[in-house]
């Protein structure tokens, strides 16, 4: 079954807290109970499964395009008429970290991102988003903690502008600009699902969405305790994508089947659970001075990526565990299509496994990185029903 509801966000201001690890053995049971109660309340029909009975399921045959310039791609993004491919930072440093392809006709355009920590260089391309105008894009480097702007029109590997993130943002990861002066992202330890941070001084301006609590057991757990928030963050870990133009940001959980859709305009969450409702098996074990969440290796991964356009959310879904991925190289072959309000309105079955997804309504195309031994770009025709 699927839980599907909206909740108004609570605002808070809270900074990083230091803590000692005590009663570690109890946390797994308590958090599992929290999640189980959360998942099993307010049940409705599973819209992910209901779509199977409709005429909105399509089997798509894709075409693979190989580009020798692409070495070991990890992420795919889109900026205007271009696909932006982020390469693995473990590649030989002589290779650029970003490959740019023209969408139509699909072809190699240029490379960006000289590997390094020097001026206008980047050691990795963690996140990519549109820049300040149509001819630029912005890359966030998690290793260097920098934002670097690149031009789509010049031939230089180097960026054209670069600035360091403020110190208060160092615990924030998976972030996108919410405005010109703020970022919206996920903090490693926080009581909120999302935080908004000032780019000027790193101050936390607001927190959106609190973790669910176990009903009638507040006397057992202090839910402001950072260890609880850290463990809940790990269990709900996933991909984070944003579309600033429509004011929509989505976190797609990889370990459990959950989408958290955040409307920045009205500061409201829509949480959609499914297609699986059961929780992943995990343990919380000590690790030095801390403790970590360890998932059962047989668990199948859930959501693998999302793409947000003016009309829909495209949810790339996996359903393979690590052993299956290693044996078959198949990562994800399903795309669910959801409205911005969280209704599942379509399902696409792909004949090529991909990691990452980009959709272009004007071109009626779906793009993804193939997961075979010689990765390229898979292209599928988007059914006209979703135009």
Tens digits of per-residue pLDDT, 127-161?
Answer: 999 999 999 999 999 999 999 999 999 999 999 99
Residue labelled with tokens 């075979």: 372
CB-side neighbour CA atoms (13 Å) of 246: 18
Q: State the CB neighbour count (10 A cutoff) for residue 86.
A: 22
Band of the pLDDT at 44, cuts 50, 70, 90?
Answer: low
Residue 316 to residue 371: CA distance in whole angstroms = 14
Residue 231 to residue 189: CA distance in whole angstroms = 9
Report pLDDT for 225: 67
pLDDT higher than threshold 90 for residue 189: no
Report pLDDT for 17: 32
Concatenating the DSSP letter of every residue in 48-73 gives HHHGGGSS-EEEE--EEE--TT--SE
pLDDT higher than threshold 60 for residue 36: no
**The length of the chain, given as a count of residues:** 387
**Strand pairing partners for 248?**
243, 263
In this prediction the pTM is 0.87
Q: State the CB neighbour count (10 A cutoff) for residue 302.
A: 23
Q: Is residue 263 classed as helix, strand or coil in its secondary structure?
A: strand
Instruction: List Cβ neighbours of 258 (8 Å cut-off, separation of 6 or more).
Output: 236, 238, 252, 271, 272, 273, 302, 303
Report pLDDT for 215: 39
Q: Give the angle subtended at the CA of 120 by the CAs of 118 and 122, to the nearest 5°.
A: 70
**Strand pairing partners for 106?**
none
pLDDT higher than threshold 90 for residue 204: yes
User: Domains of the chain by range and CATH?
Assistant: 4-386 (2.120.10.30)
Residue labelled with tokens 């990765």: 375
pLDDT higher than threshold 70 for residue 42: no
| Helix 24-40 × helix 226-235 angle, to 10° | 60
Token pair listed for 14: 């809270």
Q: Is residue 85 classed as helix, strand or coil in its secondary structure?
A: strand
Residue 301 to residue 321: CA distance in whole angstroms = 6
Token pair listed for 55: 């005429």
Report pLDDT for 224: 58
Q: Which residue has the higher pLDDT, 99 or 43?
A: 99
Residue 47 to residue 53: CA distance in whole angstroms = 10
Q: Which residue has the higher pLDDT, 233 or 59?
A: 59
Q: What's the whole-number mean pLDDT along residues 354-360?
A: 98
Question: How remote is the C-alpha of 113 from its chain's centroid?
Answer: 22
Report pLDDT for 291: 79
Backbone angles phi, psi at 77, to 5 degrees: -135, 170
Band of the pLDDT at 284, cuts 50, 70, 90?
Answer: confident
Q: H helices within the chain, ranges in order? A: 24-40, 47-50, 226-235, 322-328
pLDDT higher than threshold 80 for residue 103: yes
pLDDT higher than threshold 90 for residue 320: yes
Band of the pLDDT at 289, cuts 50, 70, 90?
Answer: low
Residue labelled with tokens 């990889």: 254
DSSP character for 325?
A: H
Residue labelled with tokens 């809940």: 232
Q: Percentage of the chain surpassing pLDDT 70?
A: 84
Q: What's the whole-number mean pLDDT along residues 293-305?
A: 94
Q: Give the angle subtended at the CA of 192 by the CAs of 186 and 196, to the nearest 5°.
A: 55
Taking a C-beta distance cutoff of 8 angstroms, is the pair 236, 228 a contact?
Answer: no
pLDDT higher than threshold 90 for residue 217: no
Token pair listed for 269: 């969450």
Q: Give the angle subtended at the CA of 176 by the CAs of 241 and 122, to the nearest 5°.
A: 105
Report pLDDT for 233: 82
CA distances from 142 to 147, 174, 197, 240, 353 (A): 9, 9, 16, 14, 27
344-350 vs 57-60, strand pairing mode: parallel
pLDDT higher than threshold 60 for residue 300: yes
pLDDT higher than threshold 60 for residue 175: yes
Q: Which residue has the higher pLDDT, 331 or 233?
A: 331
Residue 65 to residue 380: CA distance in whole angstroms = 11
Whose CA is closest to 252, among 320, 338, 183? 338
């Amino acid at each position: 079954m699927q839980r599907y509801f909206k909740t108004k966000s609570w605002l808070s201001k809270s900074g990083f807290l230091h803590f000692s690890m005590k009663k570690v053995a109890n946390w797994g049971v308590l958090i599992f109970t929290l999640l189980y109660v959360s998942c099993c309340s307010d049940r409705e029909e599973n819209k992910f499964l209901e779509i199977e009975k409709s005429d909105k399921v399509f089997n798509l045959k894709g075409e693979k395009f190989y580009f020798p310039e692409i070495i070991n791609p990890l992420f795919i993004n889109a900026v205007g008429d271009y696909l932006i491919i982020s390469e693995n930072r473990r590649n030989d440093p002589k290779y650029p970290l970003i490959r740019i392809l023209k969408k139509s006709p699909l072809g190699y355009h240029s490379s960006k991102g000289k590997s390094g920590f020097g001026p206008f260089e980047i050691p990795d391309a963690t996140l990519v988003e549109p820049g300040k105008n149509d001819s630029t894009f912005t890359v966030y480097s998690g290793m260097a903690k920098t934002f670097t702007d690149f031009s789509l029109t010049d031939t230089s590997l180097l960026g054209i502008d670069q600035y360091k993130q403020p110190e208060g943002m160092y615990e924030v990861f998976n972030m996108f600009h919410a405005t010109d002066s703020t970022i919206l992202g996920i903090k490693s330890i926080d009581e909120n699902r999302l935080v908004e941070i000032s780019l000027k001084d790193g101050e936390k301006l607001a927190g959106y969405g609190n973790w669910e609590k176990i009903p009638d057991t507040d006397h057992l757990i202090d839910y402001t305790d950072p260890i609880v928030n850290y463990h809940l963050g790990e269990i709900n870990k996933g991909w984070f994508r944003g579309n600033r133009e429509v004011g929509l940001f989505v976190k797609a959980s990889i370990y459990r089947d959950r989408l958290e859709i955040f409307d920045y305009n009205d500061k409201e969450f829509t949480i959609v659970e499914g297609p699986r409702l059961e929780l992943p098996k995990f343990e919380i074990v000590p690790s030095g001075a801390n403790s970590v969440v360890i998932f059962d290796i047989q668990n199948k991964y859930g959501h693998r990526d999302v793409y947000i356009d003016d009309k829909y959310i495209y949810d790339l879904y996996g359903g393979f565990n690590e052993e299956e991925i290693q044996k078959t190289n198949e990562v994800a072959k399903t795309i669910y299509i959801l409205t911005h309000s969280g209704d599942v309105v379509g399902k696409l079955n792909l004949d090529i496994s991909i990691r990452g997804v980009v959709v272009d309504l004007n071109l009626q195309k779906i793009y993804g990185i193939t997961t075979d031994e010689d990765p390229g770009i898979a292209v599928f025709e988007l059914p006209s029903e979703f135009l």
